[in-house]
Amino acid sequence: MSPSVATGLLNLRMLWIQDCESMEEVITKEEQEGAGIMTLFPLLEQLHLIRLPKLGHFFLTNHALEFPYLRNVEIDDCPEMKTFVQQGISVSIPILKYDDEVKFVDDLNKCIQQEFNNKEQEASDDYEASDDDEAEPSHARS
């Protein structure tokens, strides 16, 4: 959806997006770039993003984002999500539920970046461990 649609949904309190195989972003890139604060979904209290395998981000913008009533964010099984918004922009919310773990966070964007980096590191460690298993010498007889 476009940013203008998101700002126009004045009474939306819960946004639940689930099982969308091809969704790469929730809000499309804004039509015009600029500075300032943008309020999306002015009354949004809960955001749930679940099983979105290609979702890379919620919204890429240069604006600081404000979600004045957002209290609960659940992000589960979104393996490609590297950032919530464009890097360098912070999004402050009090409670985040991420992969079934409840956290209190200052910056949603930073938290998602850290989680993505942790998963990348775990995958790399798992790959290296499987290489070590294959590299063990075999006990062949002559």
- Find the helix or strand (DSSP H, E) in which 108 lies: helix 108-135
DSSP per position, 51-86: S-TT--BS---SSEEE-TT--EEEEES-TT---SSS
Tokens coding 105: 């966070």
Those residues whose C-beta lies under 8 Å from the C-beta of residue 1, and which sit 6 or more positions away, are 26, 27, 28
Question: For 30-64, how does the pLDDT look when each residue is reduced to its tens digit (9 = 90+)?
Answer: 655 555 667 778 888 899 999 999 999 888 777 77
List the chain domain ranges. Answer: 3-132
pTM (global) more than 0.85: no
Distances (CA, A) of 113 to 12, 74, 118: 27, 15, 9
pLDDT by 10s per residue, the chain, length 142: 887 788 788 899 999 999 999 999 888 876 555 556 677 788 888 999 999 999 998 887 777 777 778 878 888 899 998 888 776 666 766 566 665 667 666 677 777 777 777 777 777 777 666 665 555 555 544 4
Asked whether the CA dihedral 56, 59, 65, 67 is positive or negative, the reply is negative
- Per residue, the 3-state secondary structure of 32-48, as one string, reads CCCCCEEECCCCCCEEE
Q: Please name the residue that has the structure tokens 């200052």.
A: 106
